[in-house]
């Protein structure tokens, strides 16, 4: 089924093909509008939106398409709802992989991981087979790090640096917490680092972060003046609040994409920072989350052959 959004406004360039998976879900519901009105890829960039979900969700997807049509967004040239990977991944410029297997009651962590490996293996292979070799891929569905690795491994013909996954949400949350504590706007806080897995071992690190207070830039520890909080509740509360209000809330993902996608789509590249000083406190936190990540990676990779 193919439907067109009405628009006759001449555009500056050819439309790009953007896939959102899990398109009938909660995150996609707020994300799609943001993409379609130009927040993510630019106000001059026409878009063809491909929406993938599983077959039982197709009626919901039809509703999503109608809502997008009702917006009559000038940048939106076409919307394609589908349950078929060969349609969804064809000639893609960008893929935002949101759909994943949710944890069901009583489900073992391993079984959940196995189900997600199966989804991201299949979608990685579809990227490899059908998408442009220049496609940029952002994985949102959790466990985002590991799902991203599996997708990248399953798409050997696409450069590894074209794959990334979402941690901007965690970064923004940590920056906001510091800003609220100091009583300044969030954009007065910079250089917050998020290390590791999307789980309770995730480490929001403010040892290199700066905050501007009354025009003066200072270390976060000097501005907050509460080391116990910064080394305790600030870190442990980070993931707890994630569980409470991250899923499906409209403000969590689109903002992140607005910031992160220009980096992956506009011919810019990310790079690994070297020579960063890591103190003993950070090292311990980083080691803990790295151990968990490696374990998750090994388990996931062991499912790849299955």
Ligand X SMILES: NC(=O)c1ccc[n+]([C@@H]2O[C@H](COP(=O)([O-])OP(=O)(O)OC[C@H]3O[C@@H](n4cnc5c(N)ncnc54)[C@H](O)[C@@H]3O)[C@@H](O)[C@H]2O)c1
In this structure, what token pair is assigned to residue 127?
């990227």
**Positions marked active-site:** 198
Number of residues that bind ligand X (CB under 6 A): 29
Sheet with 163-165, edge to edge strand ranges: 76-82, 47-52, 16-21, 94-97, 136-139, 163-165
Answer for which of 36, 64, 131, 142 binds ligand X (CB under 6 A) is: 142
DSSP-derived pairing of the beta strands 47-52 and 16-21:
parallel
Query: Does position 247 bind ligand X by CB under 6 A?
Result: yes
Answer for which of 18, 36, 40, 53 binds ligand X (CB under 6 A) is: 53
In this structure, what token pair is assigned to residue 78?
């076409």
Q: From the CB of 67, what's the least distance to ligand X, in Å? A: 15
Query: Does position 148 bind ligand X by CB under 6 A?
Result: no
CB 49 within 8 A of CB 80: yes
How far apart are the C-alpha atoms of 212 and 223, rounded to whole Å? 9
- Binding positions for ligand X, 1-20, rule CB under 6 A: none
- Listing DSSP states for 288-302 in one string gives HHHHHHHHHHHHHHH
Quick one: DSSP state of residue 167? -
Quick one: DSSP state of residue 70? H
Number of neighbours of residue 91 by Cβ within 10 angstroms: 12
Tell the residue number behind the tokens 């972060």, with chain if given.
209
CA angle 275, 281, 283 (to 5 degrees): 45
In this structure, what token pair is assigned to residue 74?
């000038």
Query: Measured from the CB atom, is 149 or 169 closer to ligand X?
Result: 169
How far apart are the C-alpha atoms of 205 and 187, rounded to whole Å? 17
Answer for which of 19, 24, 152, 155 binds ligand X (CB under 6 A) is: 24
Query: Measured from the CB atom, is 159 or 248 closer to ligand X?
Result: 248
Q: From the CB of 219, what's the least distance to ligand X, in Å? A: 27
Answer for which of 87, 246, 292, 301 binds ligand X (CB under 6 A) is: 246
Query: Does position 197 bind ligand X by CB under 6 A?
Result: no
Quick one: DSSP state of residue 104? P
- Binding positions for ligand X, 80-119, rule CB under 6 A: 98-102, 119
For ligand X, the nearest residue by Cβ is 25
Answer for which of 164, 197, 252, 289 binds ligand X (CB under 6 A) is: 252
Query: Does position 189 bind ligand X by CB under 6 A?
Result: no
Query: Does position 57 bind ligand X by CB under 6 A?
Result: yes
Query: Does position 30 bind ligand X by CB under 6 A?
Result: no
Binding site for ligand X (CB under 6 A): 21-22, 24-28, 52-54, 57, 98-102, 119, 140-142, 144, 166, 169, 198, 246-248, 252-253
């Amino acid at each position: 089924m193919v439907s067109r959004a009405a628009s006759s406004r001449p555009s500056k360039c050819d439309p790009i093909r953007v896939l959102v998976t899990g398109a009938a879900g909660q995150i996609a519901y707020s994300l799609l509008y943001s993409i379609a009105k130009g927040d993510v890829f630019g106000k001059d960039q026409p878009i063809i939106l491909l929406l993938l979900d599983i077959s039982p969700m197709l009626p919901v997807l039809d509703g999503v398409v109608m809502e997008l049509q009702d917006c009559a967004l000038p940048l939106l040239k076409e919307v394609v709802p589908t349950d078929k990977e060969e349609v969804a991944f064809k000639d893609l410029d960008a893929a935002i992989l949101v759909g994943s297997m949710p944890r069901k009651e009583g489900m073992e962590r391993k079984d959940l991981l196995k189900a997600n490996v199966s989804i991201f293996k299949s979608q990685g292979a579809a990227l490899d087979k059908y998408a442009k070799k220049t496609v940029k891929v952002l994985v949102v569905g959790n466990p985002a790090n590991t799902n991203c690795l599996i997708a990248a491994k399953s798409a050997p013909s696409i450069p590894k640096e074209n794959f990334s996954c979402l941690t901007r949400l965690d970064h923004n949350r940590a920056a906001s917490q510091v800003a609220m504590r100091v009583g300044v706007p969030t954009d007065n806080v910079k250089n917050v680092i998020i290390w590791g897995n999307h789980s309770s071992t995730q480490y929001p690190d403010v040892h290199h972060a700066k905050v501007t207070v009354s025009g003066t830039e200072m270390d976060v520890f000097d501005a907050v003046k509460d080391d116990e909080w910064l080394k305790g509740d600030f870190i442990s509360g980070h993931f707890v609040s994630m569980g409470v209000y991250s899923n499906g809330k409209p403000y969590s993902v689109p903002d992140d994409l607005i910031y992160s996608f220009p980096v992956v789509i506009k011919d810019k590249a990310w790079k690994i920072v070297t020579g960063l000083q890591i103190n003993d406190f950070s090292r311990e936190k980083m080691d803990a989350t790295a151990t968990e990540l490696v374990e998750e990676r090994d388990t996931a990779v062991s499912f790849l052959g299955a």
